[in-house]
Structure 1
Amino acid sequence: MKHKILSTLLVITLTFFNQIVNAQQAKKPKLIVGIVIDQMRSEYLYRFQDNYTENGFKRLLREGFNVKNTHYNYVPTATGPGHTSVYTGTTPTNHGIVSNDWYSRALNRTMYCVEDSTKFLVDSDGIKTDLKFKSYFRSPKNIKTTTITDELKLFTKGRSKVIGISLKDRGAICPAGHLANAAYWYNSNNGHFITSSYYTEKLPNWLVDFNNAKKADSLLNLSWKPLLPIENYKNSNPDNDTFEKVFKGKENSTFPYNLKKLKSNNGGYGLLTEVPYGNTILTQLAKTIIKEEQLGKTNETDFITISYSSTDYVGHNFGIRSKELEDTYVRLDREIALLLDTLDKEVGKGNYTLFLTADHAGSDNPVFLESKRLPGKFYNSKQIKDSLNAYLSKEFGEANYIAYMDKTQAYISKTKTPKEEVIKKAISYLKNVEGVKEVFAPGLNEWNVKNSTIGYFIANSYNPEESGDIYYHMYSGWMEQRTYGTTHGTTYTSDTHVPLLWFGAKVPKGESVKQHSITQIAPTISMMLDIPLPNASDRNTIEELFE
């Protein structure tokens, strides 16, 4: 009899417990936190982990879900299209952000991905309409589809708050979408965080106070030296490699960096973005926003997008195997821990869902590759453009046939010669350029993605209005000419493979090695929140999170 009673009590207890667990799982998170780390390779989660704390990246790995085999699926892999693809759930062929910059045929000039001449800079002292500030005239108008943040705002009839922040304008604007309450980014002229008149004509009082606190000045008075004893940084190259940037005022690229001394000759307030303290000030801003905007405090789900940019600047300056980069990630780990602690206290454990990924990865400098007897070389897109134009001029008569060319695309100018003929001749020339693996002309009828090793990437990239007439693809290990550091942009795993961690409400513990695309993040959030997919989104979710 006792055994029957105990068994009955056990069943009742387990049923009650399961009901509580199911109710908690069914409850929508009060806040979604989207973190994009600029230029983070997936391997950084592991290569630098000996120097990570238990409460940053390791906590996300330990308590969350790790989608280990996540990749970008278009070209070029860059910041503007990266952030946009994460939040739209689609690729440049639909959302139209084909690169950070592209050639506008309508304007006859290059244009920037978030430029908007009809919207103006808004700083602490108000709106700035003077054309001398035009490099800050920004909005999301060039994004041709909805974002997951847009869909959340539509679903809740605007009751959800959506705020995007970054050091870079494109890192704040593209994730926040068209309907955001605000997007804030860093003004490298004065150390303030600013916005666009697209969102408001006046900064909130709390942000004016934040700017008036002169946090950028305080950080730029510091010296950047290793957070830990430098002998602990065993997973990076020796300090002062030959292919690292040397700041003006220094003789070499070694620690320490006296920022107060270097500031005036190295971009002024812009120097903050190139050192780990740029991530520090962004975390300070995120904490302030969560508290001041009372995110996660209502019955509706709010959304904050956070894009850490200093990792990208450090990677570009010092490369993916530098002591400076390892120190930057060691410090970023502490920033992540601080952010998680703030979320736990302000929103509550189990009340928020967080994902962490990157907008692209980064490749090894060819100088390093050659030193290790690995394949790799530099190429120069300007030289290729000049030689291609000379060839076309010889074939068709003197003219400027190439309107614009970057490291992946070429735009053909309007000339008397039919464009199709120019494109075909250009392709025949480019195929014989050293380092070029394949050349494509997506607008030509005979072009066939099935005949290409990267046709899938090109199909996801090509937008007839914004894309170039020709795509060209280099061999692995080849990189656009540079004097130091690294870059990105290719379809190779060095540039496409990024981390994807999920943590918090509605997220199981575990990991998956199944290949996933970056465009699956947005539909996964849609299903978690039971809201519509962005209108051009990938239909496929990360199913393992729902099993």
Structure 2
Amino acid sequence: MYMQKKGTLLQLSVVIVGLLSLLPLQAASVKPKLVLQITVDQLRGDMPTAYLTKMGKGGFRYLLNEGVVYKDAHHNHANTETIVGHATLATGALPAVHGMIGNVWYDDKLERLVYNVEDSRYPLLSANGDVNQKTELDPTQRTAKSSGRSPSNIQVSTFSDELMIASNGKAKVFGVSVKDRGAISMAGHMGKAFWFSKKAGEFVTSSYYYDKYPEWVASWNETKPTKKYHQKSWQLSQAQKGYVFAKQDDQEWETKLPGFGRTFPHQYGDMSNAYFNTFLTLSPAGDELTLDFAKAVVNNEQLGQDDITDYLSVSFSSTDYVGHIFGPSSLEAEDNMLRLDSTLANLFKFIDKKVGLDNTLIVLSADHGAAEVPAYLSSLGMKTKAVAPKEWDKAPSMEALKKQFGFDTALIKSYFHPYIYLDRALIAQRKLSLKQVQKAVAVEVSKFDGVALAVTSSDIEDGNTPQDYLHTLVVNNHSKNRSGDVYVVLEAHRFVADMEGLTVAATHGSPWGYDTFVPLIFAGFKIDDEIIYDRVSTTDIAVTLSAVLGIKAPSGAQGKILKKVLDTD
């Protein structure tokens, strides 16, 4: 009788175990020890496979062969800039909700442009880390009046915030990037963020996160991590004849920075050179430094070493800088992709050793895609050129509007793509209708060369915009308190090449497919490989990660759960 009951219980336990294996992932007791979110700045959706035949096994091949690969993932907002995309990836919300509508926006109260993560209340901890410097490549940072930084401008919670809330603050959450906005946005309001200071040549943070640097960070910086590049150069990683762009190392449209040049090898020069650290970020070295610091975070903060899920965001920035300076279709961009592949393979090997890839949920995407250089397209037969908004206010039609409205100064107070800002104080002083002036300016601007669409903020807020694709993306980007008076959409393959005096080869920031199209891959923890061709949105990432962990989605999240990621059959 006892043996019979024992056999019955054994059979029942087998059945129960079998049934448990069929439960959705979020219902299971086992959760990943680490969520590793990788964002590659300016990685258009086609790029991971463009040079795959020359790549190894451990980087992009691992993701593509072992992961759930979404082949048609897009951002659903119009201004495809760095902070806008990063904040969307972090929050699962559209810019209209998370509030980060551009790398900069005009603040009426301060009467100046505001950099997205600047915050004078929280100065940098490093005395050498002030970002207000002439050697800074990114001109958007020059708008910041303080080196202080925080995530305070993000108006909703991030996935990493929700992870902290669900764990009662026990989860360890870190964001690492060359760019401050790339690290800060992903670490959220509750995590810790570190970014690379081009002036100091080290990774820095602000007093928002710490009263003083952890000892391991200070020690890491004291090793002078950039020293290994002293008097070295960026050289091709493979034989040049095997590259797609092997014969196009010197293209006339590439930006030729003094000392760095536009042909291989690109010299980093002496550490004492004011541009040394900037040159590092214009090459794969920027990603290598980011990887090294991310490893130090994992080692010293013991990420993934207990039963509470930790979070690490690594945002690689070199692809963006290389794309801006040389264009996405260049020998430099091609070699950077090959070196990025090696960097990813290095990261995955390290994580496998420290945490285990089976214990790590990996998601890779991008903050935006990339536009081709107009001159490159022209060389292939598509005639196009850059746009010059600085000339708009001087056009005869705008002069006529000034006369009509009684303006003796500029009607367009400033233009910082994609927004036109009008002189609202003067409009109010002359008792003019803001809506009327916005509409009149939009009508005239829409006639200028290279402009596809000009949408007023008043029309967006009044619900008077068409329901077509482009207008929808513009509306998704609108924040009442931050957006400008008129949103300008340039024609496809047209863009502003001048970035506050720095002429770049290519840029991004449009609602066209090449800028919204990004990779989206989940791999690692209990992920079965599959290729999915359904259209998905980058807002889906944060809610899917939340579902995997069984926690609530970020407060402004608007995406849908990607069910295949939760399918463990």
Same fold (TM over 0.5): yes
Q: State the match for 1:168 in structure 2.
A: 179
Rounded to whole Å, the distance in 2 between the matches of 1:29 and 1:453 is 38
CA contact (8 A) 1:506 1:528 kept: no
TM-score, normalized by length of structure 1? 0.92
Q: Secondary structure at the match of 2:363?
A: strand
Sequence identity (%):
32
What does 1:185-264 align with in structure 2 at a 5 Å threshold? 185-234=195-244, 238-249=248-259, 253-260=262-269, 264=273
CA contact (8 A) 1:376 1:476 kept: no
Q: Secondary structure at the match of 2:321?
A: helix
Task: Say whether 1:536 aligns with 2:540.
Answer: no
* Selected match of 1:299 from 307, 312, 315: 307
Cα deviation, residue 125, structure 1: 8.8
CA contact (8 A) 1:30 1:298 kept: yes
Q: Which amino acid aligns with 1:458?
A: V
Cα deviation, residue 465, structure 1: 0.4
Cα 1:308/1:394, change in 2 over 3 Å:
same
* Selected match of 2:370 from 362, 387, 403: 362
CA contact (8 A) 2:203 2:221 kept: yes
Q: Which amino acid aligns with 1:421?
A: Q
Please, what is the CA RMSD of the aligned residues? Answer: 2.6
Q: State the match for 2:162 in structure 1.
A: 151
Task: Say whether 1:115 aligns with 2:130.
Answer: no
Q: State the match for 1:546 in structure 2.
A: 566
Q: Which amino acid aligns with 2:180?
A: D
* Selected match of 2:536 from 503, 516, 519: 516
Q: Deviations over 1:74-108 (max 9, x none)?
A: 12100011100001101110111110011111211
Q: Which amino acid aligns with 2:119?
A: D
Rounded to whole Å, the distance in 2 between the matches of 1:277 and 1:447 is 47
Cα 1:263/1:470, change in 2 over 3 Å:
farther
Q: Secondary structure at the match of 1:494?
A: helix
What does 1:325-364 align with in structure 2 at a 5 Å threshold? 325-364=333-372
Rounded to whole Å, the distance in 2 between the matches of 1:54 and 1:385 is 54
CA contact (8 A) 1:124 1:202 kept: no
Cα deviation, residue 342, structure 1: 0.9
Q: State the match for 1:323 in structure 2.
A: 331
Q: State the match for 2:403 in structure 1.
A: 394
Cα 1:515/1:126, change in 2 over 3 Å:
closer
Q: Secondary structure at the match of 1:355?
A: strand
CA contact (8 A) 2:195 2:205 kept: yes
Unaligned runs of 5+ in 2: 1-7, 132-141
Larger mean CA deviation between 299-308 and 415-424 belongs to 415-424
Q: State the match for 2:384 in structure 1.
A: 376
What does 1:47-126 align with in structure 2 at a 5 Å threshold? 47-123=50-126
Cα deviation, residue 228, structure 1: 0.8
Cα deviation, residue 401, structure 1: 2.9
* Selected match of 1:457 from 473, 478, 486: 473
Q: State the match for 1:426 in structure 2.
A: 441
Rounded to whole Å, the distance in 2 between the matches of 1:18 and 1:384 is 69
Larger mean CA deviation between 527-536 and 377-386 belongs to 377-386
Q: State the match for 1:4 in structure 2.
A: none
Cα deviation, residue 261, structure 1: 5.2
Cα deviation, residue 234, structure 1: 1.9
CA contact (8 A) 1:126 1:201 kept: no
CA contact (8 A) 2:497 2:507 kept: no
Q: Which amino acid aligns with 1:167?
A: V
Cα deviation, residue 268, structure 1: 3.1
Q: State the match for 1:3 in structure 2.
A: none
Rounded to whole Å, the distance in 1 between the matches of 2:255 and 2:22 is 53
Q: Deviations over 1:52-78 (max 9, x none)?
A: 111110011111110110001112100
Larger mean CA deviation between 341-350 and 402-411 belongs to 402-411
CA contact (8 A) 1:401 1:413 kept: yes
What does 1:36-47 align with in structure 2 at a 5 Å threshold? 36-47=39-50
| Matched length | 532
Rounded to whole Å, the distance in 2 between the matches of 1:245 and 1:106 is 37
* Selected match of 2:495 from 466, 470, 479: 479
TM-score, normalized by length of structure 2? 0.88
Cα deviation, residue 519, structure 1: 0.6
Unaligned runs of 5+ in 1: 1-7
Larger mean CA deviation between 185-194 and 445-454 belongs to 445-454
Cα deviation, residue 374, structure 1: 1.3
Q: State the match for 2:135 in structure 1.
A: none
* Selected match of 1:437 from 439, 452, 460: 452
Rounded to whole Å, the distance in 2 between the matches of 1:521 and 1:488 is 22
Q: Which amino acid aligns with 2:42?
A: Q
Q: Deviations over 1:353-378 (max 9, x none)?
A: 01011100111111111111114221
Cα deviation, residue 138, structure 1: 0.4
